[in-house]
């Protein structure tokens, strides 16, 4: 099981909470946290979604197979669940291998519109939405929430459009909405194609570690810190319509993170820097200003970068068998 944060109180006890995108990395961690908080948890997932990330709590949540793009079935299901709080993580394109423009538009824009409309219809009091640093694109300066959005991918573009429309709709329909734009996130049960799992699993399995030159800068924050932010957003009663960056607030080259992994794992292997080229439309530096979420929501990262890496390595050591299946 993923280690839980020490933030438990009675706020979520018995509250009807809905989580979309539960098959994904962040959504699954939110489901684990809400189960730990004794919430009445319902989750939405498409028929084809693999729910391996929440298999340990499958008996503690109500699983509904519903597609956000299908407004009619979504509305029917929402009327059954009647959530008080919605955590919306459902998205297409988080995985860079997902490149279908129509799926991105239909999921990230239309799907978000559908769930907000349904939320308003059943009187949901709080909608906590997930944005993305991809909405900003490359920025030379520290990124503030008010900065111009200049996405470089269909994922970033549709997320940006989805966030704008979500806040407009929520305001019109009197639904309190907070969007957290996350930057680099890492931790347990992430997809094997992602940076930290690729690096750690390659080391554990004795495989070659082929990397770019790794001179690009990133802000990486441990998953449980990010979940803390979403929890605080749900609890907040003062913000009716707000957008917040969430991340550590500090950037390092990718080599820095690689060095921390190698520092905390026993191996004689060496990374092959420059073995693969940088991605097209590579984002070179994204440093978020996180003063707003700290001052307004009272958020602070509880777990340090290195402690998060240690926890993540330990989890992969104990769970690498879960990645033997293709696609994980």
User: What beta strand segments (E) does 5-76 contain?
Assistant: 16-20, 40-45, 62-65
Number of Cβ within 10 Å of residue 6's Cβ equals 7
Chain centre to alpha carbon of residue 237: 23
Tens-digit pLDDT profile for residues 214-273: 999 999 999 999 999 999 999 999 999 999 999 999 999 999 999 999 999 999 999 999
Weakest mean pLDDT among 211-215, 232-236, 321-325 = 321-325
pLDDT of residue 99: 80
The residue with greater pLDDT, 27 or 98, is 27
pLDDT of residue 8: 57
pLDDT beyond 50 at 293 = yes
Exposed e or buried b for every residue in 60-76, given b needs 16+ CB within 10 A?
A: ebebbebbbbebeebbe
pLDDT of residue 6: 45
Three-state DSSP class for 127?
A: strand
CA atoms of 293 and 245, how far apart (whole Å) = 7
Weakest mean pLDDT among 68-82, 95-109, 263-277, 288-302 = 95-109
pLDDT beyond 80 at 101 = yes
**Mean pLDDT of all residues in 33-47:** 96
Of the CA atoms within 13 Å of residue 71, those in its CB half-sphere come to 10
pLDDT beyond 60 at 170 = yes
pLDDT of residue 27: 97
Tens-digit pLDDT profile for residues 301-310: 999 999 999 9
CA atoms of 262 and 196, how far apart (whole Å) = 11
- Specify the residue for token string 């299901």: 77
Q: What are phi and psi of 281, to 5 degrees?
A: 60, 35
Mean pLDDT, the chain, integer: 94
Domains in the chain, start-ordered, CATH in brackets?
A: 16-188+220-249+288-302 (3.40.50.720)
Side-by-side strand order, sheet with 40-45: 62-65, 40-45, 16-20, 85-88, 126-132, 176-182, 241-246
**Mean pLDDT of all residues in 41-49:** 95
CA atoms of 22 and 41, how far apart (whole Å) = 11
Tens-digit pLDDT profile for residues 141-162: 999 999 999 999 999 999 999 9
pLDDT of residue 243: 98
Q: 2 pLDDT band (50/70/90 cuts)?
A: very low
pLDDT of residue 17: 98
Q: Across the strands, what pairs with 40?
A: 16
CA atoms of 248 and 288, how far apart (whole Å) = 8
pLDDT beyond 50 at 4 = no
**Mean pLDDT of all residues in 278-295:** 91
Q: What is the pTM of this model?
A: 0.94
pLDDT of residue 98: 81
CA atoms of 318 and 40, how far apart (whole Å) = 29
CA-based nearest residue to 91, from 24, 43, 35:
24
Q: 32 pLDDT band (50/70/90 cuts)?
A: very high
pLDDT beyond 60 at 57 = yes
Q: How big, in percent rounded to 5, are the helix, strand and coil portions of the chain?
A: 40, 15, 45
Percent of the chain with pLDDT over 70: 96
Collect all residues with Cβ–Cβ distance below 8 Å to 193 and sequence separation of at least 6: 95, 96, 97
Percent of the chain with pLDDT over 90: 87
Three-state DSSP class for 3?
A: coil
Three-state DSSP class for 220?
A: strand
CA atoms of 188 and 311, how far apart (whole Å) = 8
Three-state DSSP class for 239?
A: coil
CA atoms of 239 and 218, how far apart (whole Å) = 29
Collect all residues with Cβ–Cβ distance below 8 Å to 148 and sequence separation of at least 6: none
């Amino acid at each position: 099981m993923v280690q839980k944060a020490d933030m438990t109180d009675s706020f979520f006890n018995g509250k009807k909470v809905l989580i979309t995108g539960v098959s994904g990395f962040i959504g699954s961690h939110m489901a684990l946290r809400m189960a730990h908080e004794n919430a009445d948890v319902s989750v939405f997932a498409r028929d084809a979604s693999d729910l391996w990330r929440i298999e340990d709590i499958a008996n503690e949540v109500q699983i509904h197979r519903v597609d956000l793009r299908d407004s009619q079935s979504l509305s029917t299901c929402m009327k059954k669940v009647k959530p008080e709080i919605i955590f919306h993580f459902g998205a297409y394109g988080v995985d860079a291998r997902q490149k279908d423009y129509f799926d991105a538009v239909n999921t990230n824009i239309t799907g978000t519109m559908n769930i907000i409309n349904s939320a308003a219809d059943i009187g949901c009091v709080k909608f906590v939405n997930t944005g993305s640093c991809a909405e900003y694109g490359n920025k030379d300066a520290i990124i503030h929430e008010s900065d111009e959005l200049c996405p470089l991918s269909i994922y970033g573009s549709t997320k940006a459009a989805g966030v704008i429309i979500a806040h407009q709709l929520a305001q019109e329909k009197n639904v309190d909405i907070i969007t957290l734009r996350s930057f680099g996130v890492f931790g347990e049960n992430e997809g094997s194609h992602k940076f930290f799992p690729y690096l750690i699993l390659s080391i554990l399995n004795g495989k070659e570690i082929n990397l770019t030159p790794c001179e690009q800068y990133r802000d990486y924050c441990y998953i449980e810190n990010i979940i803390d932010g979403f929890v605080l957003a749900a609890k907040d009663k003062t913000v009716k319509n707000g957008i917040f960056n969430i991340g550590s607030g500090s950037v390092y080259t990718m080599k820095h993170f690689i060095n921390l992994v190698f520092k905390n794992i026993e191996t004689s292997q060496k990374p092959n820097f420059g073995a693969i080229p940088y991605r097209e439309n590579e984002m070179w530096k994204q440093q978020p200003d996180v003063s707003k979420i700290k001052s307004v929501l009272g958020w602070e990262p509880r777990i340090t970068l290195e402690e998060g890496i240690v926890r993540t390595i330990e989890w992969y050591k104990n769970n690498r068998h879960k990645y033997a299946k293709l696609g994980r």
